[in-house]
Chain A
Amino acid sequence: MFSYCSDPDTLERLWWLSCYLTTGVHFSFYLSFLKVIGILAVTAPVALAFGFAGAMSARSQILPVSWLGKAYIAIVRGVPDIAFFLFFVIALDQGFEWLRHQALCPDWTDPIRQGNDFLVCPQAKLPLGTAPQAVHQAYAFALAVMTFALVFGAFVANVIFGAMRAVPKAQLETAEAYGMSPRQTFWRILVPQMWVYALPGLSNLWQVLIKATPLLFLLGIEDVVYWARELGGTKTARFTAYPHGDWRMWYFLALLVFYLFMTWGSEKVLSRIMARLTRGQATTGGEAQRKGAPA
């Protein structure tokens, strides 16, 4: 990056470090932090939506819908994450391609499954074989977010399902007595009140989600942990201008700081949300707020 970096062997320690930390491969490392934050920012709301839908369907009066919701919660929570990331994503990808294959190549006669191989016509490939690498990466990113959202959505669904049942029954009965329809009761009384019960569970899931990103490398997405391991590993002078020993400890130390910072930041945000949600609620927290408030 800097002009004096052309011959790193001759440099003093600090100068050497300034060159070392600005190599192209380090910028990939720095970029991966943004990538992780981006994945989290997209995954969290999508997982919340999945969870909300799951909880709603599990509570449904219509039996098959309720079974569907409960099956989703039970099955996804039961399957290990790593199995999901290794096999479900590939299955999902193949499912999309199979659908496109049926739609786009009706004349195709070769079998799609040939032994272990999965072969659809070239037009049905997702992304197309001719697409630039950036498109492939975007697609992998989307698959990752979807899988993450599906897995975490099941946990979210369980938390929200529980929170909905924690809202005092008297509240719902009162709403009915006022003549609200079941739909109105749900959206106006139940949903606004359940968040305060759901939030502790949801905040746990968020913290777990932050730390689950290394699973993404199974999908070819290089997250911070991958790069820390890659960059920290022993480098011999034959393959790099910056040879060094096993520096993984230092890289993981940087990750520790990053994760602590993320945790600390989320704690702050979550406690503010909690305070906001507690306002006017029939919980001990709400009661304390009411007593503390200036008359």
Chain B
Amino acid sequence: MKSILLSTVAVAVTATLALADGHSVVRMGTEGAYPPYNFINDAGEIDGFERELGDELCLRAELTCEWVKNDWDSIIPNLVSSNYDTIIAGMSITDERDEVIDFTQNYVPPASSAFVAASADADLTGGVIAAQTATIQAGYIAEGNAALIEFATPEETVAAVRNGEADAVFADKDYLVPLVEASGGELMFVGEDVGLGGGVGMGLRESDGELKGKFDAAITSMKEDGTLNALLVKWFGEETAQY
């Protein structure tokens, strides 16, 4: 009996040691509603630029990764509460967010945000502009003179322009390009592109320096051997900014 007890304790201790060895499984949190960064494909799986990038980064950093979907509104609270370990959801690096979480170096260069409207003479300075809640674009519009109308999902911001609720939508250009192309002239880019934020990076807990180091190294190696550029071109087209 005693030996059984002892061996149980031994097993429990070794199991504990195995667990204590940092992140055995890294959970990657994403939104799944922001093509081409991340979206749900026909088979119901998470797909897109960040899926491919994230899998490659995990491979290079020798981590076992698992994908988790989470609502954009609660994506930061759930990270700091350790419900997953990274945010890889097209999140731009900004000072406000950097106070709450940490970012890796960017894996998408600072991209331009653009206005899309249903007519070329849309009023961008005094009109109504749609943007997704809690994005850098929403923050930018809020500082200007135009009236800001916020939506929970990117899809709704574009729908607001189609149905006339907003004069224009302001979002990442990479997200808007495929929509404008597919709209057959109904939607068009208007005004000047605006450069916002410090590029897109992976969000991590501030206390998770070790994991951040691993991902930073993996991103650096992808930048150096050109695989990251190849991925950027594959998902965002030839004209996108590269490293």
Chain A interface residues (CB < 8 Å from chain B): 23-25, 27-28, 86-87, 90, 93-94, 97, 114-123, 125, 128-130, 133, 136, 217-218, 220, 222, 229-230, 233-234, 236-243, 246, 248
Assess the B19–A234 pair: CB atoms within 8 A: no
22 intermolecular pairs with C-beta atoms under 8 Å apart: A23-B44, A24-B43, A86-B77, A90-B78, A115-B206, A117-B207, A119-B82, A119-B205, A119-B207, A121-B20, A130-B24, A136-B68, A220-B69, A220-B71, A229-B153, A234-B159, A234-B182, A236-B35, A239-B48, A239-B178, A240-B42, A243-B182
Known contacts: A222-B69, A234-B179, A243-B182. The answer to whether A118 contacts B82 by CB under 8 A is: yes
Q: Does B3 contact A (CB under 8 A)?
A: no
Contacts of A222 in B (CB 8 A): 69
Known contacts: A115-B206, A116-B101, A234-B158. The answer to whether A24 contacts B81 by CB under 8 A is: no
Query: In the complex, how many angstroms separate the beta carbon of A57 from the nearest chain B beta carbon?
Result: 31
Contacts of B68 in A (CB 8 A): 133, 136, 220
Assess the B159–A133 pair: CB atoms within 8 A: no
Contacts of A130 in B (CB 8 A): 19, 24-25
Cross-chain pair count, CB within 8 angstroms: 117
Assess the B74–A86 pair: CB atoms within 8 A: yes
Contacts of B45 in A (CB 8 A): 24
Contacts of A229 in B (CB 8 A): 153, 155
Contacts of B178 in A (CB 8 A): 236, 238-239
Contacts of B23 in A (CB 8 A): 129
Known contacts: A86-B74, A93-B83, A123-B19. The answer to whether A239 contacts B206 by CB under 8 A is: no
Chain B interface residues (CB < 8 Å from chain A): 16, 19-20, 23-25, 27, 32-33, 35-36, 39-45, 47-48, 66, 68-71, 73-74, 77-78, 80-83, 100-101, 153, 155, 158-159, 162, 178-179, 181-182, 205-208
Assess the B179–A114 pair: CB atoms within 8 A: no
Contacts of B77 in A (CB 8 A): 86-87, 90
A23 to B47, CA, bound (A): 15
Query: In the complex, how many angstroms separate the beta carbon of B101 from the nearest chain A beta carbon?
Result: 7
Query: In the complex, how many angstroms separate the beta carbon of A273 from the nearest chain B beta carbon?
Result: 36
Known contacts: A119-B207, A123-B20, A129-B25. The answer to whether A237 contacts B182 by CB under 8 A is: yes
Contacts of B100 in A (CB 8 A): 116
Query: In the complex, how many angstroms separate the beta carbon of A223 from the nearest chain B beta carbon?
Result: 11
A252 to B24, CA, bound (A): 41
Give 13 A-B pairs besides A122-B20, A230-B32, A240-B42 with Cβ atoms closer than 8 angstroms.
A23-B43, A25-B41, A90-B77, A115-B206, A115-B207, A117-B82, A117-B205, A125-B82, A133-B68, A217-B71, A236-B35, A239-B48, A239-B178
Query: In the complex, how many angstroms separate the beta carbon of A292 from the nearest chain B beta carbon?
Result: 52
Specify the chain A residue showing the minimal Cβ separation from B33.
A230
Specify the chain A residue showing the minimal Cβ separation from B42.
A23
Assess the A239–B69 pair: CB atoms within 8 A: no
Contacts of B205 in A (CB 8 A): 116-117, 119
A234 to B182, CA, bound (A): 10
A94 to B78, CA, bound (A): 11
A213 to B118, CA, bound (A): 34
Contacts of B41 in A (CB 8 A): 25, 239-240
Contacts of A240 in B (CB 8 A): 41-42
Assess the A25–B43 pair: CB atoms within 8 A: yes
A243 to B178, CA, bound (A): 12
A132 to B116, CA, bound (A): 42
Contacts of B39 in A (CB 8 A): 239
Known contacts: A117-B207, A233-B155. The answer to whether A27 contacts B16 by CB under 8 A is: no
Assess the B182–A239 pair: CB atoms within 8 A: no
Assess the B70–A220 pair: CB atoms within 8 A: yes
Assess the A218–B71 pair: CB atoms within 8 A: yes
Assess the A114–B162 pair: CB atoms within 8 A: no
